[in-house]
Amino acid sequence: MTTKREPALRHTVDESVHTMDAPEHAGRSGSPAQDTQLERNMESRHLTMISLGGVIGTGLFLSSGYTIHQAGPLGAILAYLIGSVLVYCVMLSLGELSVAMPYAGSFHLYARRFIGPGTAFTIAILYWLNWAVALASEFTAAGLLMQRWFPHSPAWVWSALFILVVFTLNILSVRLYGESEFWFASIKVFAIVAFIVIGLLAIFGIIPIKGYSHAPLFSNYYRSGWFPNGVLPVFSTLLTVVFAFSGTEVVGVAAGETKDPDTAIPKAVHTTVLRLTIFFIGSIAVMAALIPWKQSGVDTSPFVLVFQSIGMPFAGDVMNFVVLTAVLSAANSGLYVCSRMVWSLAKERMIPQVLAKTNFHGVPVFAVLVSLAGGLLALLSSVVAASTVYLALVAISGLATLAVWMSVAVCHILFRRELKRSGKTVDSLAYHAPGYPAVPIIAIVMCLFALVLVVADPSQRSTLLYMIPFVALCYGVYYLRARLTRGSDRHDEENIPDVV
C-alpha cells in the first residue's frame, strides 16, 4: 500500500491520523474510513474557550490565595509570570505542529511520528489518566457545591445529574460540545474580568472597601518586605503554578476537529496564553493589593473576601455559582479530551479498534463511554480506597502534563530537523513558531527544572514512587503487545503519515 505525500505540510482529518484505510474503500458506505472519522465543526472561539475552560477552575477561584500566602504578593506574581513563559513556549511549539499536522489527540501521534511508538502509547495513557482522575474530582466538587443551596440533599444525586449532563453534551455532536464549553467558560471569564475591574476601582479608592479609609493602592506589596517568606517559596510555588496552567494544551487535542486550522489554531494559541496571563496575574495582583498576604484566602476564597469587602450582596452565592460552572466546564473539557485520546489510540490500533467508531455526527461514542467509565471508576476509588488506589492515581496523573509538554517541545525540534532534511524551508509551513530554536529549548529546560522541584519537595517526591513504575509498566505493555502482534505493528508503522 502506498501513502500519499502532500507538497504542503497539511493533512485532512481522514489522512492525518492514519492512511491505513485504503483509498479504494474510502468512499464506500459503512466503510471504516467513514465510521471512524471526526468532523471539523469547531471554530477559533471554541478552541480558545475550550483551552480556557480546561485551565480556569477551582484552583484560581478557591486556592489562589494560598499561593500568595506562601510566596508573598510579589513572589506569587513572579511565579505566575515564569509559568506563563513556559506555557507560551509550549503552546508556540504545539501551534506549529498542530497546523502542520492537525491530528485529533495530537500529542501521542507526534510522539509516535518523531520519538517512538512506546513513548506515544505511554504519553497517551498518562494524559488520559490525568483527565479521568480530574473528572472524578470535578463531579465530586459539583455535588458538594450544590449542598450550599440544598444542604439536606445527598451530594451523589447532584454528581449523578451533572455526569448525565456532561455525557449528553459530549455524545450529541462536537459542535454542541464546543458551544456548551464556550458558554461555560464565558461565565468564568466574565467573573474574572469583573473581579479585576472592581478590584482596581477599589485599589485606587474609586469605590470604598471595608477596612480602608483611603485608597489601599499597593502598600500590601511591601508592608512586610518584598519577599516576606524569603525567595525560596517562590520556587516551591512555581510547581503549583505550572500545574495550574495545565489544560492549555487541549488546543492540540481539538485540532483535528477544527475548521480552517491554519488560522484558527495560531489565533487560539496566542489569545489563550494572553488571556490566561492577564486573568491569572491580574487576579493575583488585585488579591495581593486588597487582602493582607497573611490572610489571603487561607480559609475562604479570595474572590469572596474581596466581593464581601466592597459590600457586594450574595457574594458567596454568586461565587458558588461561578465555581460550579468552572467545575462543569473542566468536567466537560475533561471528558472530551479523554474520549479523543481513546479514539486516537484505537485509530492507531494500540487498543481495540471498535473504540474508534463514530456516530453519524462524527462523535466517538464508545470512546466517550470508556472515558466516562474511567472517570467513574476513579470517583469510586476516591470513596472506597482514597488512601491507596485513588492516592496512587492522583500521584501518577500529577506529572502527566509535564510529560506531554516536554514531548511537544522535543517533537518540535525533531519536526524541524526532518523539515530541513527534506529540503523544505520554514516558509513552506502554514504557520511557524517565532523564536525557534529558543522556544522548545526553554520549554524543555523549564520542564526539567519543574521535575527537579518535584524531587526537592518532600511533599511531592512520593509522586515519583508511583510515576516511575507506572511509566515502566506502560512501556512494557506496549512492547509485549508489539511482540505478540508483530506483523500488524509493521503494517501500522508503514502507514504513519508522512509530514514532509
- Position of cell 491554519? 262
Q: Is the CB of residue 332 less than 8 Å from the CB of residue 181?
A: yes
pLDDT tens digit sequence for 269-294: 888 788 888 888 888 888 888 877 66
Average pLDDT, the chain: 79
pLDDT for 13: 36
Domain that holds residue 309: 42-494
Q: What is the pLDDT of residue 317?
A: 87
pTM of the model: 0.81
Q: What is the mean pLDDT of residues 111-117?
A: 91
pLDDT category at 21 given cuts 50, 70, 90 is very low
Question: Is there a domain that residue 9 lies in?
Answer: no
Is residue 138 situated within a structural domain? yes
Query: Is residue 377 domain-resident?
Result: yes
Q: What is the pLDDT of residues 451-487, one digit of tens each?
A: 888 888 787 787 888 888 999 999 999 998 888 876 5
Contact between residue 237 and residue 338 where contact means Cβ atoms under 8 Å apart: no
Mean pLDDT, residues 220-231 taken together:
77
Mean pLDDT computed over 254-269? 74
According to the model, what pLDDT value does residue 89 have? 93
Q: Say how many residues make up the chain.
A: 500
Decide if 379 contacts 135 (C-beta within 8 A): yes
**pLDDT attached to residue 300:** 67
CA distance 234 to 232: 5
pLDDT in the model for residue 257: 65
pLDDT in the model for residue 23? 30
Query: What is the tens place of the pLDDT at every residue in 129-138?
Result: 988 888 888 8
Residue 335 above 80 pLDDT? Answer: yes
Q: Is residue 15 situated within a structural domain? A: no
Q: Which of 5-19, 195-209, 286-300 has the highest mean pLDDT?
A: 195-209
pLDDT at residue 416 above 90? Answer: yes
pLDDT of residue 442: 95
Amino acid, single-letter form, for residue 320: N
Query: In this model, does residue 236 exceed pLDDT 60?
Result: yes
pLDDT of res. 62? 67
Q: Which of 47-61, 269-283, 420-434 has the highest mean pLDDT?
A: 420-434
Q: Are 145 and 433 in contact, with CB atoms under 8 Å apart?
A: no
**pLDDT value for 314:** 83
Q: How do residues 154-172 score in pLDDT, each as one tens digit? A: 888 898 999 999 999 888 8
Within-domain flag for 248: yes
Residue 398's contacts (CB-CB under 8 Å, 6 or more residues apart) are: 130, 243, 460, 463, 467
How many domains is the chain partitioned into structurally?
Answer: 1
Given a cut of 60, whether residue 498 has pLDDT beyond it is no
pLDDT tops 60 at residue 187 = yes
Structure-block grid coordinates of residue 170: 459530549
pLDDT at 104: 63
Query: By percentage, how much of the chain surpasses pLDDT 90?
Result: 15
Closest CA to 341 of 172, 128, 139, 68: 128
Q: 2: burial class by Cβ within 10 Å (0-12, 13-18, 19+)? A: exposed
Written as nine digits, the cell of 426 is 520554514
pLDDT for residue 86: 92
Task: Provide the pLDDT for residue 463.
Answer: 81
pLDDT at residue 369 in the model: 93
| Tens digit of each residue's pLDDT (9 = 90 or more) over 75-92 | 888 888 888 899 899 989
For residue 374, the domain's CATH number is 1.20.1740.10
Instruction: Write down the pLDDT at residue 30.
Output: 39
Average pLDDT for residues 308-330, to the nearest whole number? Answer: 84
Q: Residue 349 corresponds to which cell in the numbers above?
A: 490500533
Grade residue 8 by pLDDT with cuts at 50, 70 and 90. Answer: very low
- Considering the domain boundaries, does residue 403 fall inside one? yes
